[in-house]
Amino acid sequence: MKSFKQSLKNIKITKKGVKDFCKLIFMLNLLAFIRSFATYMFVIPNGFAPGGITGIASIIYNAVYPFNPHLADTVLNPAITSIVLNVPLFIASFFLLDKKFCVNTIIAVGLHSLWMGVLDIVDFPVYKAIGSASALNLLAAVAGGVGSGVCLGFILRYNSSMGGTDIIGKLIYKFNPVADVQWLILACDVVIVVASGSLGLIGLDFSLGAEVITTSVLSPILYSAISLFVGAEIADVIQAGLHSSIVFNIISDKHDEIASAINEKLHRGVTRVHATGSYTGIQHDMLVVVVRKKQINQVKEIIFSIDPEAFMYMTKAKGVTGKGFSYHGVA
């Protein structure tokens, strides 16, 4: 008890600390609202389940609603089930993972559920497609994925998450760092996506034939997969930045001329690396230069105008920072 009181005394409240905390809460609230809006408006009304705890909550709600609307809208409302299902993960992450990450995640998930509840209470209109063959289903799947992706992409920058499979992935990595966590998270999400196919069987007339049954089962699975994929891609773009870069690796006997031309014409730094050919045993200087995607053709033109025999290959680079490359991260 004494040590706890001593710890409280050691906490220093500064103006900058308060400002950063308010900024954090504001951003988590904004991102939670975006995720809640996408889930409430596009995902749940159309019976999608694009992975995660939200996907499970959507399956539960849409499976119960046709039989007991009152139960689905109250006890099994996604605003409630999404946070209840996260509670065991919160407890595990609090004791086993970074405390700041856990607290931020609890705040984000709590705000997400709160906004879901608010939208439901005010009976905010939803975007609901009619029939599995409607093109509106595709639009809803994409819109839901974009909203989730934007939220996930930014929220990871704040040392937070939306719970669910993200926490599971971090727990697995803590005890088994060599595990390919991303694939394990994807496997969990795929299981949830496939489970959404069961929603297509509710109220289905099985006498209509195998083709109708197949379409009814596969439709929610495919739309959920589209939403999951779009969300992952949007989150990746936000994390890596909108402007991807390219790394050029160049081997040429005219390395000095090429480096000087790139410096002068593109104002890009060039790194020289000593390399030895394994087959010939001849030493060369390899040039390494990182440029924006739009500068690819300019670099190629410089290289081949100076040395048409130059050996060159390109690779993609993400999250490039430093002189000449801006960084829009979050402290």
Domain segments of the chain: what residues?
A: 2-240, 245-317
Could you read off the pLDDT of 35-48 as tens digits, one per residue? 999 999 999 999 99
Fold of 245-317: Alpha-Beta Plaits (3.30.70)
Distances (CA, A) of 271 to 262, 263, 286, 287: 11, 11, 8, 6
Which amino acid type is present at position 238? I
Contacts 24+ apart (CB under 8 A), 122-127: 124/40, 124/41, 126/40, 126/41, 126/42, 126/44, 126/45, 127/41, 127/42, 127/45, 127/46
Highest mean pLDDT among 15-24, 121-130, 274-283: 121-130
pLDDT at 172 over 90: no
Confidence of residue 194 (pLDDT cuts 50, 70, 90): very high
Q: How far apart are CA 80 and CA 44, in angstroms?
A: 14
Please compute the mean of the pLDDT values over residues 227-251 and round it to a whole number. 81
User: Which residue did the predictor score with more confidence, 242 or 71?
Assistant: 71
Q: Is the pLDDT higher at 320 or at 151?
A: 151
CA distance 33 to 298: 43
Backbone conformation region of residue 286, classed left if phi is above 0, alpha if psi is from -120 to 50, else beta: beta
Sign of CA dihedral 58, 63, 66, 68: negative
Please tell me which residue, 299 or 133, carries the higher pLDDT value.
299
Predicted pLDDT at 330: 42
* DSSP string of 119-184, one letter each residue: HHHTT------SSTT-HHHHHHHHHHHHHHHHHHHHHGGGT---STHHHHHHHHHHH-TTS-HHHH
Between helix 15-38 and helix 99-121 the angle, nearest 10°, is 50
Under 8 Å between Cβ of 311 and 250: yes
Name the pLDDT band for 142 (thresholds 50, 70, 90).
very high
Q: Which residue has the higher pLDDT, 17 or 327?
A: 17
Contact between 143 and 42 (Cβ < 8 Å) = yes
Residue 59 pLDDT class (50, 70, 90 cuts): very high
- Residue 5 confidence (pLDDT) above 80: no
| Average pLDDT value for residue range 167-184 | 74
